[in-house]
Structure formats: C-alpha cells, structure tokens
C-alpha cells in the first residue's frame, strides 16, 4: 500500500529536482512540469521569479494566444529551498490551496465563467486596468477562482507581491494581450474546448 503525504508538498521534475542544475533554474526564473501534492492527488503548478513569469507570459500570450496555468507561485529568487519554503508557508492556510481538493465535477457539464465586474464597464477603463481578479470558473456544483491579467500587469503584480521576500500565489492565472470582456470570454471558451482547464482538477493514483 502506497503512503501519501497528509500535508501539501512540492514535487519537482527531474527526479524531484535531483537531476536539475539549480543555477540554470535560478537564472531562467521559471520551472514548470511541477506539482502540488496532497494525499493521492497532484495538481499542476509553476514556480517562478517575477521576471521569469513576465517573460513566459509574454512569450505564450503573443499573437492572440493565451497563457494559462492552474497554479502560479512566485518568489524573489527561484531556488529549490525557496520553492519548498513557499509551499510550506502557503499550506498553513486553507485560503490558499483549499480550493483544489474536493469532489470532481461531472465531466459532461460545461465550463462557464462568472466575471467579478459588470460588463458595462467602460472599454478604456477595462483595457487600462489590465487585470480582473475574484472571478470564478464554474463547472457543475464546483466553483474555482480565476485571475485575468495582461502579461505586463502579471509581471508587475509579481514584483510587488514578492518584495521583501514575500510569496505570491495565484490560482488559475490567465494572461492575454487583448484585455476586453469579449477576449476574456473567448479565452475561457478556448481553454475549455482544448481541455486545458481540466488540468486544474489534478490527477490521482486511480487515473
């Protein structure tokens, strides 16, 4: 019988980091293909520095594409020690990771998005704001937090949030260049149609 952790922990690629060259990770500032593990469940996460996150978001959201990650954890300096310390720090409150575990929604139910602002918001106000937080992705009986940014605003937010050694955690981060309500809804539809939103539901030993 396999023993599973009863606390959140980071699981890194490359034999849990043993096969990775840490100075390269620190310089690049972005580490994907990682998981947050709890019990027999694993949830995708990326670890990054503010600059690493900005560069990756700009690259992946150009030409009308969409940057999406189910979990983003940023620290001032991306080291293995800081990664594990960040997860330990965030896991002490259910407010951070508590949205992930739970009964799986029925796979036949569609994804919808509920935005936190009235869609009558002025176009120029919305475009200049460049972020929309406290919105929800909904599937069946489950609601999942989601945050929308432009790549530039996402990078700026990460810099501010990690000042003084603090940790930034954002669930279900979507970054896109064209920051309008129509573009946001189109991005969610695209992520749902291509199956990318399924990643937030995690994986278990039974899958």
Q: What is the pLDDT of residues 122-176, one digit of tens each?
A: 666 666 789 999 999 999 999 999 999 999 999 999 999 999 999 999 999 999 9
Q: Quote helix, strand, coil % in the chain, to nearest 5.
A: 40, 30, 35
User: How many other C-beta atoms lie within 10 A of the C-beta of residue 8?
Assistant: 19
> Does 2 map to a domain?
no
In-domain check, residue 4:
no
**Strand ranges in the chain using DSSP code E only, listed in sequence order:** 9-11, 30-38, 41-48, 67-74, 111-114, 131-139, 142-149, 168-175, 203-204
Could you tell me if residue 74 is inside a domain? yes
Identify whether 1 is part of a domain: no
Helix (H, G, I), strand (E, B) or coil at 56: helix
In a domain, 116, yes or no: yes
Q: For 113, phi and psi rounded to 5 degrees?
A: -125, 135
How many domains would you assign to the chain?
1
Cα 109 from Cα 105, distance rounded (Å): 8
Q: Please give the pLDDT value at position 114.
A: 95
81 class by beta-carbon count within 10 Å (0-12 exposed, 13-18 middle, 19+ buried): exposed
Could you tell me how many residues make up the chain? 207
Q: What is the pLDDT of residue 1?
A: 39
Average per-residue pLDDT for the chain: 91
Is 32 a domain residue? yes
Domain hosting 144: range is 9-204
Contact between 111 and 137 (Cβ < 8 Å): yes
């Amino acid at each position: 019988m396999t023993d599973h952790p009863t606390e959140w922990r980071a699981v890194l690629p490359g034999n849990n980091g043993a096969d990775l060259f840490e100075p390269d990770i620190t310089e690049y500032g972005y580490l994907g293909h990682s998981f947050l593990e709890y019990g027999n469940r694993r949830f995708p996460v990326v670890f990054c520095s503010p600059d690493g996150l900005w560069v990756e978001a700009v690259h992946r959201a150009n030409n009308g594409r969409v940057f999406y990650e189910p979990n983003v954890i940023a620290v001032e300096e991306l080291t293995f020690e800081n990664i594990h310390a960040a997860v330990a720090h965030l896991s002490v409150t259910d407010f951070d990771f508590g949205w992930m575990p739970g009964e799986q929604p029925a796979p036949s139910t569609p994804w919808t998005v509920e935005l936190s602002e009235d869609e009558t918001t002025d176009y120029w106000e919305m475009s200049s704001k460049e972020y929309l937080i406290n919105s929800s992705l909904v599937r069946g009986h489950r609601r999942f937090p989601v945050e929308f940014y432009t790549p530039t605003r996402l990078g700026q937010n990460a810099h501010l949030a990690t000042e003084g050694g603090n940790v930034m955690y954002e669930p279900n981060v979507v970054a896109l260049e064209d920051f309008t309500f129509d573009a946001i809804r189109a991005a969610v539809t695209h992520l749902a149609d291509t199956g990318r939103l399924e990643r937030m539901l995690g994986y278990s030993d039974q899958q």
